[in-house]
Amino acid sequence: MTKRLDGKVAIVTGATMGIGVSIVERLAEEGASVVFTGRTLDKGKEVEERFRALGHEVTFVQGSVTEEADVKAAVDAAVNTYGRLTTLVNNAAATETTGPGGADSRITDIPWEAFDKIIRTGVHSILLTCRHSIPHIIAAGGGAIINISAASSLRAINGRPAYQASKGAVNTLTRQVAVDYGGEGIRSNGIIVGFTPTGGEVMTKMLATPAFILAVKKAIPSPRLGHPRDIGSGCVYLASDEGEYVNGVLLPIDGGLSCKLGIPDTSALSAIAGEG
């Protein structure tokens, strides 16, 4: 049976844990050959072995997306191992620096080193990956670049100026690549990720806090929280031929989070005011 991504060759950055792993999994399930990157050798090899045992064509390349030599090595690995490159998914972000207890905090408090790291990881890396990938994608006859963004790039949340600035820049670069390279067969789109539990110590603590979960569920119109596979499935669509006329789009996969204002319910305002 033909799969939706048969013949596609993808690179996924920052994919040894969380959403990145699910993106690799979904692309591979649909027939793509996937090179994925990450800084931690043990984690990367564990993911590689697990997916290869399932029959998937995946290859791990250790490296940092902020180092141009590492980025070039990943691109070369994809082309040399699988013959070409059709798809780039920019997923890497300095998520360990954000969230409760992280260094990303209010502008008057955040250390410069933390701000610089988050911007380099989330923004400078896209310049590097696109610079080295675009010529190969064009040579393959065109393909897709998919940038993973966040709902906080559209509506700010407290105390994460660096992360939100980085994702705002991701959105802008997504549109810029669509305009500059659309005529050469490259589709550039972003995915706006909402609240998607991905594991880890901080996330586990948040999920164990009833008041926090209640507040999150109230903010999301859909009846459940997100799952990393939701994001992976969005990548499948954007990478597939089904999405060949989708370009320059920021696709929310967030259960409706980004379309809802965080204000109290005003639908029964007259009753609240004692009228009627």
193-197, 235-239, 249-253: which range is least confident on average?
193-197
Class of domain 9-257: alpha beta
260 secondary structure, DSSP code: S
pLDDT digits (tens, 9 = 90+) for 166-188: 999 999 999 999 999 999 999 99
pLDDT digits (tens, 9 = 90+) for 52-99: 999 999 999 999 999 999 999 999 999 999 999 999 999 999 887 876
Are the CB atoms for 197 and 226 separated by under 8 Å? yes
pLDDT at 211: 86
What amino acid is encoded at 22 in this protein? S
pLDDT digits (tens, 9 = 90+) for 258-276: 998 877 776 665 555 555 4
pLDDT at 169: 97
Short-list 240, 127, 253, 22, CA closest to 12: 22
- How does strand 250-253 pair with strand 87-90? unpaired
pLDDT at 216: 87
Enter the pTM of the model: 0.93
Are the CB atoms for 95 and 116 separated by under 8 Å? no
What CA–CA distance (Å, rounded) separates 29 from 120?
A: 31
Choosing from 163, 181, 237, 245, which is the catalytic residue? 163
H helix and E strand count, the chain: 10, 7
Judge whether 163 counts as a catalytic residue. Answer: yes
pLDDT at 170: 98
